[in-house]
Amino acid sequence: MFITFEGIDGSGKTTQIKLLQDYIKSLGNQTVIIREPGGTPFSEIIRDILLNKDIEINPVSELLLFEAARANLTQQVIIPALKNGFYVLCDRFYDSTTAYQGYGRQLNLDEVLNCHKLATLGLKPDLTFYLKLSLDESLKRSAHKKADRMERAGREFFLRVLDGYDAIAESEPERFVIIDAAGDIEETHRKIVSFITRKSPNK
Ligand code: TMP
Protein backbone atom coordinates (compact mmCIF):
# COMPACT_ATOMS: atom_id res chain seq x y z
CA MET A 1 0.00 0.00 0.00
CA PHE A 2 1.28 3.43 -0.97
CA ILE A 3 0.38 6.22 1.48
CA THR A 4 1.46 9.84 1.11
CA PHE A 5 1.32 12.85 3.42
CA GLU A 6 0.85 16.44 2.34
CA GLY A 7 0.71 19.83 4.02
CA ILE A 8 2.54 23.11 4.46
CA ASP A 9 5.40 23.63 6.89
CA GLY A 10 4.63 22.82 10.52
CA SER A 11 1.65 20.61 9.76
CA GLY A 12 3.13 17.67 11.70
CA LYS A 13 3.68 15.29 8.77
CA THR A 14 6.91 13.88 10.18
CA THR A 15 5.37 13.06 13.57
CA GLN A 16 2.32 11.42 12.01
CA ILE A 17 4.33 9.36 9.53
CA LYS A 18 6.47 7.96 12.37
CA LEU A 19 3.41 7.13 14.48
CA LEU A 20 1.82 5.40 11.50
CA GLN A 21 4.99 3.43 10.80
CA ASP A 22 5.03 2.16 14.41
CA TYR A 23 1.39 1.12 14.08
CA ILE A 24 1.90 -0.71 10.78
CA LYS A 25 5.00 -2.47 12.14
CA SER A 26 3.09 -3.52 15.27
CA LEU A 27 0.75 -5.46 12.95
CA GLY A 28 3.75 -7.36 11.55
CA ASN A 29 3.98 -5.50 8.24
CA GLN A 30 7.13 -4.13 6.62
CA THR A 31 7.28 -0.39 5.97
CA VAL A 32 9.58 2.15 4.46
CA ILE A 33 9.46 5.91 5.04
CA ILE A 34 10.76 8.25 2.35
CA ARG A 35 10.63 11.96 1.73
CA GLU A 36 10.32 14.11 -1.35
CA PRO A 37 12.39 15.56 -2.78
CA GLY A 38 14.96 12.97 -1.70
CA GLY A 39 15.21 9.30 -0.82
CA THR A 40 18.02 8.29 -3.23
CA PRO A 41 21.54 9.75 -3.54
CA PHE A 42 20.57 11.47 -6.83
CA SER A 43 17.32 12.87 -5.44
CA GLU A 44 18.99 14.11 -2.24
CA ILE A 45 21.46 16.12 -4.35
CA ILE A 46 18.56 17.64 -6.26
CA ARG A 47 16.90 18.42 -2.92
CA ASP A 48 19.98 20.37 -1.85
CA ILE A 49 19.85 22.39 -5.06
CA LEU A 50 16.10 23.07 -4.78
CA LEU A 51 16.27 24.24 -1.16
CA ASN A 52 19.49 26.26 -1.48
CA LYS A 53 18.49 29.86 -0.75
CA ASP A 54 21.54 31.19 -2.64
CA ILE A 55 20.48 29.70 -5.98
CA GLU A 56 17.91 31.33 -8.26
CA ILE A 57 15.74 28.80 -10.10
CA ASN A 58 13.00 29.69 -12.55
CA PRO A 59 9.59 28.00 -12.12
CA VAL A 60 9.92 25.59 -15.07
CA SER A 61 13.39 24.44 -13.98
CA GLU A 62 12.04 24.03 -10.46
CA LEU A 63 9.15 21.87 -11.73
CA LEU A 64 11.48 19.67 -13.76
CA LEU A 65 13.92 19.23 -10.88
CA PHE A 66 11.16 18.10 -8.51
CA GLU A 67 9.94 15.67 -11.19
CA ALA A 68 13.47 14.40 -11.90
CA ALA A 69 13.97 13.67 -8.19
CA ARG A 70 10.56 11.93 -8.16
CA ALA A 71 11.27 9.79 -11.25
CA ASN A 72 14.45 8.47 -9.65
CA LEU A 73 12.80 7.75 -6.29
CA THR A 74 9.74 6.12 -7.88
CA GLN A 75 11.73 3.74 -10.06
CA GLN A 76 14.53 2.93 -7.62
CA VAL A 77 12.66 2.75 -4.32
CA ILE A 78 8.87 3.05 -4.38
CA ILE A 79 7.94 0.57 -7.12
CA PRO A 80 10.38 -2.16 -5.93
CA ALA A 81 9.22 -1.73 -2.30
CA LEU A 82 5.55 -2.02 -3.29
CA LYS A 83 6.35 -5.13 -5.35
CA ASN A 84 7.96 -6.65 -2.24
CA GLY A 85 4.81 -6.04 -0.19
CA PHE A 86 6.02 -3.07 1.85
CA TYR A 87 3.80 -0.28 3.06
CA VAL A 88 5.44 2.78 1.53
CA LEU A 89 4.93 5.99 3.52
CA CYS A 90 6.01 9.07 1.61
CA ASP A 91 6.42 12.58 3.03
CA ARG A 92 5.05 14.50 0.01
CA PHE A 93 4.52 13.22 -3.55
CA TYR A 94 3.12 14.70 -6.76
CA ASP A 95 0.31 16.59 -5.00
CA SER A 96 3.03 18.88 -3.61
CA THR A 97 4.05 19.74 -7.16
CA THR A 98 0.45 20.39 -8.17
CA ALA A 99 0.01 22.69 -5.16
CA TYR A 100 3.41 24.45 -5.12
CA GLN A 101 4.43 24.61 -8.78
CA GLY A 102 0.96 24.41 -10.38
CA TYR A 103 -0.96 26.71 -8.05
CA GLY A 104 1.87 28.47 -6.17
CA ARG A 105 4.10 29.24 -9.17
CA GLN A 106 1.10 29.38 -11.50
CA LEU A 107 2.46 26.98 -14.11
CA ASN A 108 0.04 25.44 -16.60
CA LEU A 109 -1.84 22.75 -14.67
CA ASP A 110 -2.29 20.31 -17.56
CA GLU A 111 1.43 20.44 -18.27
CA VAL A 112 2.22 19.92 -14.58
CA LEU A 113 -0.10 16.88 -14.43
CA ASN A 114 1.55 15.43 -17.55
CA CYS A 115 4.94 15.76 -15.87
CA HIS A 116 3.62 13.73 -12.90
CA LYS A 117 2.60 10.91 -15.26
CA LEU A 118 6.01 10.88 -16.88
CA ALA A 119 7.88 10.92 -13.56
CA THR A 120 5.76 8.32 -11.76
CA LEU A 121 5.04 5.96 -14.68
CA GLY A 122 1.39 6.52 -13.74
CA LEU A 123 1.78 5.36 -10.11
CA LYS A 124 -0.80 6.91 -7.75
CA PRO A 125 -0.97 6.85 -3.97
CA ASP A 126 -3.70 4.58 -2.53
CA LEU A 127 -4.34 7.17 0.15
CA THR A 128 -3.10 10.69 0.84
CA PHE A 129 -3.45 12.48 4.17
CA TYR A 130 -3.51 16.25 3.85
CA LEU A 131 -2.69 17.75 7.26
CA LYS A 132 -4.44 21.05 6.85
CA LEU A 133 -3.16 24.10 8.70
CA SER A 134 -3.76 27.84 8.29
CA LEU A 135 -0.91 29.93 6.95
CA ASP A 136 -0.73 31.99 10.14
CA GLU A 137 -0.42 28.86 12.30
CA SER A 138 2.21 27.47 9.92
CA LEU A 139 4.28 30.68 10.14
CA LYS A 140 3.96 30.68 13.93
CA ARG A 141 5.13 27.06 14.22
CA SER A 142 8.15 27.56 11.95
CA ALA A 143 9.18 31.03 13.17
CA HIS A 144 12.27 29.62 14.94
CA LYS A 145 13.61 27.95 11.74
CA LYS A 146 15.89 29.47 9.08
CA ALA A 147 13.83 29.64 5.88
CA ASP A 148 15.05 27.61 2.86
CA ARG A 149 14.58 28.74 -0.76
CA MET A 150 11.00 27.46 -1.01
CA GLU A 151 10.00 28.88 2.37
CA ARG A 152 11.14 32.33 1.26
CA ALA A 153 8.30 32.56 -1.26
CA GLY A 154 5.84 35.20 -0.08
CA ARG A 155 2.49 35.02 1.65
CA GLU A 156 0.53 35.21 -1.64
CA PHE A 157 2.41 32.16 -2.92
CA PHE A 158 1.47 30.10 0.14
CA LEU A 159 -2.16 31.22 -0.01
CA ARG A 160 -2.24 29.88 -3.60
CA VAL A 161 -0.61 26.63 -2.42
CA LEU A 162 -3.41 26.23 0.15
CA ASP A 163 -6.00 26.88 -2.58
CA GLY A 164 -4.26 24.21 -4.65
CA TYR A 165 -4.57 21.62 -1.88
CA ASP A 166 -8.26 22.50 -1.46
CA ALA A 167 -8.80 22.01 -5.20
CA ILE A 168 -7.11 18.58 -5.13
CA ALA A 169 -9.24 17.58 -2.12
CA GLU A 170 -12.36 18.56 -3.99
CA SER A 171 -11.42 16.70 -7.15
CA GLU A 172 -10.30 13.44 -5.46
CA PRO A 173 -12.20 13.10 -2.16
CA GLU A 174 -11.75 9.29 -1.99
CA ARG A 175 -7.96 9.40 -2.08
CA PHE A 176 -7.12 12.84 -0.68
CA VAL A 177 -8.28 12.97 2.93
CA ILE A 178 -8.28 16.27 4.81
CA ILE A 179 -7.17 16.02 8.45
CA ASP A 180 -7.22 19.02 10.80
CA ALA A 181 -3.53 19.52 11.66
CA ALA A 182 -4.37 21.86 14.54
CA GLY A 183 -5.83 18.90 16.49
CA ASP A 184 -4.31 16.71 19.18
CA ILE A 185 -1.43 14.43 17.95
CA GLU A 186 -2.92 11.18 19.30
CA GLU A 187 -6.36 11.97 18.01
CA THR A 188 -5.00 12.77 14.55
CA HIS A 189 -3.10 9.47 14.60
CA ARG A 190 -6.29 7.55 15.48
CA LYS A 191 -8.13 9.20 12.59
CA ILE A 192 -5.34 8.26 10.16
CA VAL A 193 -5.34 4.65 11.38
CA SER A 194 -9.10 4.39 10.91
CA PHE A 195 -8.76 5.41 7.26
CA ILE A 196 -5.92 2.93 6.70
CA THR A 197 -7.95 0.12 8.26
CA ARG A 198 -10.82 0.84 5.90
CA LYS A 199 -8.59 0.82 2.82
CA SER A 200 -6.11 -1.89 3.76
CA PRO A 201 -6.12 -5.08 1.67
CA ASN A 202 -5.15 -7.13 4.81
CA LYS A 203 -7.77 -5.89 7.25
P1 TMP B 1 9.89 19.61 3.12
O2 TMP B 1 10.36 20.87 3.75
O3 TMP B 1 8.49 19.25 3.52
O4 TMP B 1 10.83 18.48 3.21
O5 TMP B 1 9.73 19.90 1.53
C6 TMP B 1 10.63 20.60 0.82
C7 TMP B 1 10.05 21.85 0.23
O8 TMP B 1 9.85 21.65 -1.17
C9 TMP B 1 8.73 22.34 0.79
O10 TMP B 1 8.80 23.76 0.89
C11 TMP B 1 7.73 21.97 -0.26
C12 TMP B 1 8.54 22.02 -1.53
N13 TMP B 1 8.09 21.12 -2.59
C14 TMP B 1 7.62 21.66 -3.79
O15 TMP B 1 7.57 22.87 -3.95
N16 TMP B 1 7.26 20.80 -4.79
C17 TMP B 1 7.33 19.44 -4.65
O18 TMP B 1 6.99 18.70 -5.58
C19 TMP B 1 7.82 18.90 -3.39
C20 TMP B 1 7.93 17.42 -3.22
C21 TMP B 1 8.19 19.78 -2.40
pLDDT at 198: 84
- Average pLDDT over the chain reads 95
Q: Which atom of ligand 1 sits closest to the CA of residue 104? A: 15
State the pLDDT confidence band at 13, using cuts at 50, 70 and 90: very high
Question: 75 φ, ψ to 5°?
Answer: -75, -35
Residues within a 6 A CB radius of ligand 1: 35-37, 66, 92, 96-97, 100-101, 150-151
> Which pLDDT does position 191 carry in this prediction?
93
The atom of ligand 1 lying closest to the CA of 67 is 18
Cβ atoms within 10 Å, residue 78: 23
Mean pLDDT, rounded, for 75-100: 98
Ligand 1: which residue has its CA nearest to atom 6?
37
The mean pLDDT value for 175-202 works out to 88
Chain segment 32-81, per-residue pLDDT in tens: 999 999 999 999 999 999 999 999 999 999 999 999 999 999 999 999 99
User: Domain 2-199 adopts which CATH fold?
Assistant: Rossmann fold (3.40.50)
Residue 203 reports pLDDT greater than 60:
no
In this structure, are residues 193 and 142 in contact, taking their beta carbons and an 8 Å threshold?
no
pLDDT of residue 61: 98
Which burial class, exposed, middle or buried, applies to 137 when counting CB atoms under 10 A from its CB (0-12, 13-18, 19+)?
A: middle
Which residues neighbour 190 within 8 Å (Cβ) at sequence distance 6 or greater? none
- Parse the chain into domains and list their residue ranges: 2-199
Q: Which range, 8-12, 73-77, 134-138, 146-150, is most confident?
A: 73-77
